[in-house]
């Protein structure tokens, strides 16, 4: 199963062009959803207005070279490892889900656009990447959704309470889970069985919800968060620091503070 | 004055939800970010502001007496054991302060309620808090202001 391109088998019954068109439509839905989100919530406008305001209280001017270094450091340290989540389970779960999803999506696009024609042979690395990506997404996603979600951990709600904010993570998990189930049942070569068709249908529906629901879900945080991290580090570099005090100089060790114990006191 | 959350900074970790003594910091159901659900009941204790690892929470003054431009922000550096404040006045003057964190470790100085005797019904319905009157350093009953001593026109 891990080395089989599930889309090449599907392409025997459905034209590869249909698959490619579906991917393009999904990309289009993400772009439209994000743009509508930006226009409606005005969050990007607020973000840039705020950054402009913060610039007025800058204590030093940073050149282009330094700006590039700060951005590069942010990409490598903050964005690539989701440093804002600190050290802990949430960060591990998020990194698993993030890289899993990236692998899953990249492999999907490559396999659909390059290896669905009748005469093409899929290198084993792409299906492997697709399956591993989906598995990582499931591990990180279910771990987050069942145990680490702030609703469960801090608000003490049961794991089965579903709210609008769950739309993104649940749709993503549905994509990965049904994708894996479809790939597995399809690899069994069960002639005229319903299994793989049901899971394929569920996989398509969950993709439509995930990419079509960008406006209503947290999907766009993938684009906003890196921008916010860059702005935060640029503000630290130019001394404006969003009005925050500078880092304490020559501190002493006074105590452990509230982080010694996980915030779970009921 | 009350707290508000910079949505681009918040990552929904829940530290503010846990620490808020008024139980007004909660998680928004649409975007899973912290939100002050009842600003009127915020007593500006700054607990959530200090607890936030991403400096996502700020406190704003009411527009009628504290026009925009001032700010009071805090940076808690747990690994250093310090808490730093930056006070920015409306005229642009800024002041910086650094203090040690004086938060006590959980369970060491905080009353262990579970180990104590179970309160009876009268104690539960009493106006007294757990540590009263001992904690107030007074003997006997709590001081009472008789209602007839209130100024005329004040009704309770």
Task: Give A-chain residues touching B84 at CB under 8 angstroms.
Answer: 245-248
Could you tell me the pLDDT band of residue A266, with boundaries at 50, 70 and 90? Answer: very low
Provide the 3-class DSSP secondary structure of residue A65: helix
Distances (CA, A) of B117 to A256, B113, B114: 30, 8, 8
Test the B interface: residue of A43, A244, A262 with most B CBs within 10 Å:
A244
Write the DSSP string, B115-134. GSPPP-HHHHHSS--TTTTG
- Nearest-neighbour CA in chain B from A177: distance (Å): 23
Residue whose pair of structure tokens reads 């649940």 in the numeric block: A170
Max mean pLDDT among A51-55, A220-224, B141-145 falls in A220-224
A66 — pLDDT class (breaks 50, 70, 90) = very high
Grade residue B36 by pLDDT with cuts at 50, 70 and 90.
very high
**Which pair of structure tokens corresponds to residue A34?**
């994000």
Q: Is B116 on the interface with A (CB under 8 A)?
A: no
Smallest Cα–Cα separation from B6: which of B29, B50, B36? B36
Asked if B15 contacts B78 with a C-beta cutoff of 8 angstroms, the reply is: no
Contact criterion met (CB below 8 Å) for A212 and A27: no
Q: Give me the DSSP letters along A145-171.
A: IIII-HHHHTS---TT---GGGHHHHH
Q: Give me the pLDDT at residue A12, please.
A: 87
Evaluate whether the domain defined by B2-74 bears CATH number 3.30.70.20. yes
- Chain A residues with CB under 8 Å of B71 CB are 243
- Looking up tokens 């452990």 gives A256
> Model-level pTM?
0.81
> pLDDT tens across A182-211, in order?
999 988 877 777 888 899 999 999 999 999
Arithmetic mean of pLDDT, A83-102: 92
Please tell me what DSSP assigns to residue A158.
-
Do residue A218 and residue B75 have CB atoms under 8 angstroms apart? no
On whether residue A247 sits in a domain, the answer given is no
How many Å apart are CA B24 and CA B34, to the nearest integer?
10
Burial degree of B18 (CB within 10 A; 0-12, 13-18, 19+): buried
* Residue that is written with structure tokens 């042979």 in the block: A121
Query: From edge to edge, which strands make up the β-sheet containing B94-100?
Result: B71-77, B82-88, B94-100
pLDDT band at A15 (very low <50, low <70, confident <90, very high): very high
Residue A32: which pLDDT band, with cuts at 50, 70 and 90? very high
ipTM value > 0.85: no
Do B27 and A151 count as a contact with CB atoms less than 8 A apart? yes
Mean pLDDT, rounded, of chain A: 89
DSSP state of B147: G
What pLDDT, on a 0 to 100 scale, did the predictor assign at position A265?
Answer: 45
Residue A98 lies in a domain: yes
CB–CB contact B78 A151 (8 Å): no
Can you point out the beta strands (E) in A36-95? none
Would the pLDDT of B85 be above 80?
Answer: yes
When pLDDT is cut at 50, 70 and 90, the band that residue A132 belongs to is very high
pLDDT at site B17: 92
Q: For B87-101, how does the pLDDT look when each residue is reduced to its tens digit (9 = 90+)?
A: 988 888 899 998 877
Helices H / strands E in chain A, number of each: 10, 0
Give the mean pLDDT of A95-108: 96
Contact between residue A47 and residue A231 where contact means Cβ atoms under 8 Å apart: yes
Q: Does A155 touch chain B (CB under 8 A)?
A: yes
Domain that holds residue A220: 6-238
| Helix, coil or strand: residue B33 | coil
Does residue B155 carry a pLDDT above 60? no
Return the residue of A nearest to B114 by Cα: A266
How many cross-chain Cβ pairs, A to B, lie less than 8 Å apart?
132
The lowest-confidence range among A2-11, A26-35, A169-178 is A2-11
Of B14, B26, B29, the CB nearest to A165: B29
% helix, strand, coil for chain A, step of 5: 70, 0, 30
Higher-confidence residue: A79 or B67?
A79
Is there a contact between A54 and A45 (Cβ–Cβ < 8 Å)?
no
Residue B63 has pLDDT above 70, yes or no: no
For the cut 70, the answer to whether the pLDDT of residue A151 exceeds it is yes
Please report the pLDDT score of residue A67 as a whole number.
93
- Report B:58-97 residues touching A (Cβ under 8 A): 71, 73-78, 80-82, 84-86, 88, 96-97
Question: Is B54 near chain A, with CB under 8 Å?
Answer: yes
Q: Rounded distance, CA A13 to CA A1, Å? A: 19
Q: Is A111 a residue whose pLDDT tops 50? A: yes
**Winning range, highest mean pLDDT, from A243-257, B34-48, B125-139:** B34-48
Q: Is residue A66 part of a domain?
A: yes
Reference B142, options B131, B151, B156, B150; nearest CA is B131
A49 within domain boundaries? yes
Any idea which of A4-18, A85-99, B124-138 has the lowest mean pLDDT? B124-138
**DSSP summary character for residue B68:** B
Count helices and strands (H / E) in chain B.
3, 7
pLDDT computed for residue B2 by the predictor: 87
> Is the distance from CB of A12 to CB of A117 less than 8 angstroms?
no
**Mutual angle of helices A16-41 and A89-114, in 10-degree steps:** 140
- pLDDT level of residue B106 (50, 70, 90 thresholds): low
Statement: residue B103 has pLDDT above 90? no
| Known active-site residue B85 | no
Task: Tell me what pLDDT residue B126 has.
Answer: 84
pLDDT band at A40 (very low <50, low <70, confident <90, very high): very high
In order of A118, A131, B21, the CA distances from B41 in angstroms are 67, 50, 10
**At residue B105, does pLDDT exceed 70?**
no
| Domains held by chain A: number | 1
Task: Report, in angstroms and rounded to the nearest whole number, the Rg of chain A calculated over CA atoms.
Answer: 22
Measuring CA to CA, which residue among B32, B98, B5, B71 is closest to residue A168?
B32
Give the residue from A187, A150, A248, A152 showing the smallest Cα distance to B12: A150
Task: Name the token pair of B20.
Answer: 């808020």
**Contact with chain B for residue A242, Cβ under 8 A:** yes
Proportion of chain B above pLDDT 70, given as a percent: 85
For B12, the token pair is 């929904």
Residue spans per domain, chain B = 2-74, 113-144
Residue A129 is classified by DSSP as: H
The number of beta carbons lying within 10 Å of the beta carbon of residue A83 is: 14
């Amino acid at each position: 199963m891990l080395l089989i391109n599930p889309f090449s088998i599907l392409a025997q019954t459905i034209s590869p062009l249909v698959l490619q068109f579906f991917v393009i439509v999904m990309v289009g839905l993400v772009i439209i959803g994000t743009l509508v989100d930006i226009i409606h919530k005005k969050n990007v406008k607020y973000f840039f207005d705020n950054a402009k305001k913060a610039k007025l209280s800058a204590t030093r001017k940073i050149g282009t070279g330094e700006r590039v270094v700060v951005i590069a450091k942010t990409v490598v340290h903050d964005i690539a490892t989701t440093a804002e989540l600190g050290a802990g389970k949430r960060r591990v779960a998020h990194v698993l889900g993030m890289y899993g999803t990236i692998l899953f999506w990249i492999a999907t696009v490559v396999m659909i656009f390059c290896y669905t024609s009748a005469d093409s042979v899929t290198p084993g690395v792409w299906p492997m990447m697709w399956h591993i990506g989906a598995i990582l997404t499931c591990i990180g996603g279910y771990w987050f959704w069942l145990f680490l979600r702030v609703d469960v951990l801090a608000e003490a709600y049961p794991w089965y309470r579903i709210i609008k904010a769950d739309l993104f993570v649940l749709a993503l998990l549905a994509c990965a889970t049904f994708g894996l189930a479809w790939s597995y049942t399809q690899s069994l070569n069960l002639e005229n069985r319903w299994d793989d068709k049901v899971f394929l249908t569920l996989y398509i529906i969950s993709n439509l919800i995930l990419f079509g629901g960008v406006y209503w879900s947290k999907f766009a945080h993938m684009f906003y968060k890196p921008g916010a991290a860059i702005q935060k580090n640029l503000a630290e570099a130019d001394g404006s620091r969003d009005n925050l005090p500078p880092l304490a100089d020559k501190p002493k060790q006074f105590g452990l503070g509230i982080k010694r114990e996980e915030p779970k006191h009921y | 004055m009350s707290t508000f959350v910079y949505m681009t900074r918040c990552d929904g970790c829940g530290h503010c939800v846990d620490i808020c003594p008024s139980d007004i910091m909660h998680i928004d159901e649409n975007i899973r970010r912290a939100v002050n659900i009842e600003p009127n009941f915020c007593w500006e204790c700054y607990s959530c502001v200090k607890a936030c690892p991403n400096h996502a929470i700020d406190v704003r003054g009411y527009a009628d007496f504290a026009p925009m431009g001032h700010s009071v922000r805090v940076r808690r550096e747990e690994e250093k054991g310090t808490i730093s404040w930056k006070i920015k006045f409306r005229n642009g003057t800024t002041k910086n302060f650094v203090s040690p964190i004086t938060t006590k470790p959980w369970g060491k100085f905080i009353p262990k309620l579970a180990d104590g005797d179970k309160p009876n019904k009268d104690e539960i319905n009493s106006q007294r808090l757990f540590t009263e009157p001992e904690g107030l350093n007074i003997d006997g009953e709590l001081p009472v202001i008789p209602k007839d001593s209130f100024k005329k026109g004040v009704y309770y």
